[in-house]
Amino acid sequence: MGSGESLVQVQRRLLKDKELKIRKALDRLREKRRLLGRQRRRREFPVVSMVGYTNCGKTTLIKALTGDDAVRPQDRLFATLDVTAHAGWLPSRVAVIYMDTVGFLSQLPHSLIESFSATLEDVAHSDLVVHVRDVSHPETELQKATVLAALRGLRLPAPLLDSVLEVHNKVDLVPGWLHQEATVQDVDVIPEAGAADVRVVISSSAYSRFRKLFPESASQ
């Protein structure tokens, strides 16, 4: 602590220094994303951009999709404060690039909002945007609205904005969700019906509760 400097002044100075470091990192990130965008357009690889709040599971999803063991999910703020691009394959054997983005923050300082938003500009050059949500978070609906508002603010092409793919993560942490009550053995999603066939090992009492919730679909 400097001579004559109060504790409050020290805290403010430290916060200001931290904000300056974050701002510089975000500016470097914006430039690197522009470079990657130019490289992507030259090579003409489809790009899938992952967006969502910090710790929602974007990096973990990319690791699952690519099988890249070098991807290291971290449970901390601004864990992904750098450009990360990972190659993967679609079931059709088309090569794609998965782009990780800086996670949204619930209370981003106002002075950093412009710099943060600038890091998302390259999303406009994506072929698909995947919105990863932590549905167990108490403010998950507010977080969804914030992310969608930010995407609209980027003035994305209408087809890209209308085709945002929403992924619900951490569903096993939602109270009363099936994974907490049973052992899920197999899931067969039926997209056209907006439903799924699920095979589980479940107790009679738990099965009765779920049958009341889904009277038309539950069966032995």
The domain spanning residue 84 has which CATH number?
3.40.50
- The whole domain housing 63 covers 7-170
Residues 37 and 130 in one domain: yes
Q: Same domain for 151 and 209? A: no
Let me know whether 184 and 147 are in one domain: no
Tell me, letter by letter, the H, E, C secondary structure of the chain: CCCCCCHHHHHHHHHHHHHHHHHHHHHHHHHHHHHHHHHHHHHCCCEEEEECECCCCHHHHHHHHHCCCCCCCCCCCCCCCCCEEEEEECCCCCEEEEEECCCECCCCCHHHHHHHHHCCHHHHHCCEEEEEEECCCCCHHHHHHHHHHHHHHCCCCHHHHHCCEEEEECHHHCCCCHHHHEEEEEEEEEHHHCEEEEEEEECHHHHHHHHHHCCCCCCC
**Any domain includes 2:** no
Total domain count, the chain = 2
Reported as a single tens digit per residue, the pLDDT across 79-104 is 444 557 788 888 888 888 888 877 77
- Digit-coded pLDDT (tens) for 25-82: 666 666 665 655 555 555 577 889 999 888 888 888 888 888 876 665 554 444 444 5
Residues 99 and 193 in one domain: no
Residues 67 and 139 in one domain: yes
Identify whether 111 is part of a domain. Answer: yes
